[in-house]
């Protein structure tokens, strides 16, 4: 049961245990609340049968005090069991979600967009928190306590009165349950439409400059308005769909009062039940139906919450990347041994790839687009897990090593640099969190950052804006290289680090890179042949396989793919209008 609750409501083990305690506490509180009806029943019974004697008065007075104390105590326990434990569990859930995201392979993030993950972390967690504290325990507690009260009345009172009072409850639940499948599909569809809208809004904000430059903002806004209207229409349909069932169930519940009065009246006239029994059942149904109606409304919300629970459970149940937390490599040669890899869609990306990137050498990966170059570099750092074969770093199996531990040996410079809305100093310090200011500045000097940093208003303390919006592309790239200098890892991965730069910036950055890669194991991806002209070893990838391999001189002599690429780029460089 605990495991089932964990998956159904995205709970930890302790959270599932606490939810069961919440069910019990709500059930006990509901039963205690009914005890006052029992006291009132006995009081009226005494009044109708000879009046209230002194000892009975003391009994009722003491009983009332005891019931009040029990109500206070059980409500206090229920509050702790439903609210406080839920808020603690919500914190555990968010932390666990963050820890899980840290351990997931980067292939997972390739399938997800930012809006979706943000909704997981913020919106879905908040929705489940509300459901766990307000709705689910109340629903289960109401069902259990109502069942127990019904059984008790059936055993000690007229069964016909019990049926006339309680028949509406299972019917109302059947009505609500019958719509659960359709409601879940509607909520899933609405969630997808909302995510699509969030993506479009984010895209609009990020590309507003290009939209204005091409006079496309009006067309884009028209598409955005259609998506907003679609969200509105789907939300209205979802609410209307649920309202039909909830209101139908509420009407059925109200009918219970009528059937109780009708059956009770007939039985009383026929002298088959007493006036007191008739009165008690009218009192019970008035106490029972209002909370039950609220519970049924919550049941509709719980159905909708199931979608959020499934989304969170998908993340929490996704296979993590784990491994040894100690590095056992001897040296830093990167060896691909008959490696095969495919993404989740099953389409093969790499097939039987074998080569070695040796320590103290520059190994270049080149080839036509889509050949698998970037995939190879990502696999070397265990961004993804391979399907077959073996990748080793100094003899250590990469896929059996904890990714965070493994990456302590890697410095990576991507083509697309990610910077934070912080100072130059703190953006470089990402490479080594405990670095001193002087160490950061030394790394910046090696990466040729000083030239532009000195022009900034507050030098290294200048805030560079979101993703370095205050800097040029070349300046942003140099900060990325400075991080790599600061980290000073023995393995360097360079992914098109100069591909989108002008000639002047490319020259500056290549100077910085030449200093960075000394005495390292270097794996570089490049399309420009002049970038890898001095590489020690070149691996040509085509269609996920190693098509050619050797030194630049050896590959030129082969007159194959490499030689063709050099020839083509030479012609392009000499072309003029």
Which pLDDT score is estimated for 335? Answer: 92
pLDDT tens-digit map of 121-145: 777 777 777 777 777 787 788 888 8
Q: Is the pLDDT of residue 74 over 80?
A: yes
Q: What fold characterizes domain 2-316?
A: ABC transporter transmembrane region fold (1.20.1560)
State the average pLDDT over residues 260-286: 86
pLDDT tens-digit map of 5-24: 766 767 777 877 888 888 88
Side by side, the strands of the sheet bearing 410-413 are: 410-413, 491-495, 521-525, 362-366, 537-542, 545-550
Q: 24 to each of 20, 78, 92, 139, 290, how far by Cα in Å?
A: 6, 9, 22, 12, 21
Q: Are 497 and 508 in contact (CB under 8 A)?
A: no
Q: Are 544 and 384 in contact (CB under 8 A)?
A: no
At residue 366 the predicted structure's pLDDT band, cuts being 50, 70 and 90, is: confident
Q: Is the pLDDT of residue 573 over 60?
A: no
Which pLDDT score is estimated for 501? Answer: 56
Q: Where are the domains of the chain?
A: 2-316, 334-574
pLDDT tens-digit map of 451-483: 888 888 888 888 888 767 778 777 888 888 888
Q: 170 to each of 142, 166, 530, how far by Cα in Å?
A: 13, 8, 77
3-state SS, residue 382: coil
Q: Are 393 and 407 in contact (CB under 8 A)?
A: no
Residue 319 CB neighbours (<10 A): 10
pLDDT tens-digit map of 300-348: 677 777 777 777 777 777 778 888 888 888 888 999 999 888 876 667 8
Q: Are 339 and 377 in contact (CB under 8 A)?
A: no
Which pLDDT score is estimated for 500? Answer: 53
Q: Is the pLDDT of residue 185 over 60?
A: yes
**Beta strand pairing call for 334-342 and 521-525:** unpaired
User: d(Cα 319, Cα 399) in Å, to the nearest integer?
Assistant: 14
User: d(Cα 188, Cα 306) in Å, to the nearest integer?
Assistant: 10
pLDDT tens-digit map of 515-552: 777 778 888 887 777 777 778 888 888 888 888 888 88
- CATH superfamily for 334-574 is P-loop containing nucleotide triphosphate hydrolases (3.40.50.300)
Q: What is the DSSP letter of 576?
A: -
At residue 273 the predicted structure's pLDDT band, cuts being 50, 70 and 90, is: confident
Q: Is the pLDDT of residue 258 over 80?
A: yes
pLDDT tens-digit map of 194-232: 878 877 887 777 778 777 888 887 888 888 888 888 888
Which pLDDT score is estimated for 503? Answer: 59
Query: Alpha helices of 157-274 — where are they, by DSSP H?
Result: 159-166, 168-178, 180-206, 208-213, 217-269
3-state SS, residue 498: coil
**Which residue did the predictor score with more confidence, 320 or 73?**
73
State the average pLDDT over residues 96-104: 80
Which pLDDT score is estimated for 392? Answer: 92
Token duo for residue 441: 């500045």
Which pLDDT score is estimated for 115? Answer: 66
State the average pLDDT over residues 440-452: 84
């Amino acid at each position: 049961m605990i495991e089932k609750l964990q998956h159904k409501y995205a709970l930890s083990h302790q959270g599932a245990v606490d939810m069961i305690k919440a069910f019990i506490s709500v059930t006990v509180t509901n039963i205690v609340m009914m005890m006052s009806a029992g006291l009132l029943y006995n009081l009226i019974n005494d009044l109708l049968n000879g009046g209230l004697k002194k000892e009975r008065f003391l009994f009722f007075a003491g009983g009332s005090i005891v019931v009040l104390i029990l109500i206070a105590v059980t409500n206090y326990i229920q509050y702790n069991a439903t609210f406080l434990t839920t808020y603690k569990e919500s914190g555990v859930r968010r932390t666990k979600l963050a820890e899980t995201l840290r351990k997931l392979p980067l292939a997972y993030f390739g399938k997800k967009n930012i809006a979706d993950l943000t909704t997981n972390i913020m919106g879905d967690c908040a929705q489940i928190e509300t459901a766990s504290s307000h709705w689910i325990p109340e629903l289960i507690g109401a069902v259990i306590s109502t069942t127990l009260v019904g059984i008790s009345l059936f055993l000690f009172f007229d069964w016909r009165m019990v049926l006339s009072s309680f028949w509406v409850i299972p019917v109302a639940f059947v009505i609500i349950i019958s719509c659960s499948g359709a409601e879940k599909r509607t909520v899933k569809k609405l969630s997808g439409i909302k995510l699509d809208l969030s993506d479009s809004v984010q895209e609009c904000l990020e590309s507003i400059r290009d939209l204005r430059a091409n006079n496309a903002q009006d067309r884009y806004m028209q598409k955005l308005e259609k998506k907003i209207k679609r969200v509105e229409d789907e939300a209205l349909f979802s609410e209307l769909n649920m309202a039909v069932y909830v209101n139908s169930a509420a009407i059925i519940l109200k009918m219970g009062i009528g059937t109780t009065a009708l059956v009770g009246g007939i039985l009383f006239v026929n002298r088959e039940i007493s006036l007191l029994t008739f009165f008690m059942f009218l009192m019970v149904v008035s106490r029972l139906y209002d909370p039950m109606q609220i519970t049924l409304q919550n049941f509709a919300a719980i159905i909708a919450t199931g979608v959020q629970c499934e989304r969170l459970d998908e993340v929490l149940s996704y296979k993590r990347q784990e491994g040894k937390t100690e590095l056992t490599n001897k040296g830093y040669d990167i060896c691909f041994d008959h490696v095969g890899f495919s993404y989740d869609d099953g389409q093969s990306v790499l097939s039987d790839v074998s080569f070695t990137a040796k320590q103290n050498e520059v190994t270049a990966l080149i080839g036509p687009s889509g050949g698998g170059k970037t995939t190879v570099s990502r696999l070397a750092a265990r961004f993804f897990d391979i399907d077959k074969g073996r990748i080793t770093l100094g003899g250590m199996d990469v896929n059996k090593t904890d990714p965070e531990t493994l990456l302590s040996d890697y410095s990576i410079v991507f083509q697309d640099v990610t910077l934070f809305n912080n100072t130059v100093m703190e953006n470089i310090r990402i490479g080594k969190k405990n670095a001193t200011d002087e160490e950061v500045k030394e790394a910046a000097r090696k990466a040729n950052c000083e030239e532009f940093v000195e022009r900034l208003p507050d030098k290294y303390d200048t805030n560079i804006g979101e993703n370095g919006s205050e800097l040029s592309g070349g300046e942003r790239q140099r900060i990325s290289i400075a991080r790599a200098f600061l980290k000073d890892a023995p393995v360097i991965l360079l992914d098109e680090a100069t591909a989108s730069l002008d000639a002047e910036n490319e020259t500056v950055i290549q100077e910085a890179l030449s200093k960075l890669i000394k005495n390292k194991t270097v794996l570089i991806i490049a399309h420009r042949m002049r970038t890898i002209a001095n590489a020690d070893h070149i691996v040509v990838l085509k269609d996920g396989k190693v098509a050619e391999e050797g030194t630049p001189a050896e590959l030129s002599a082969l007159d194959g793919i490499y030689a063709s690429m050099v020839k083509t780029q030479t012609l392009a460089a000499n072309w003029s209008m």
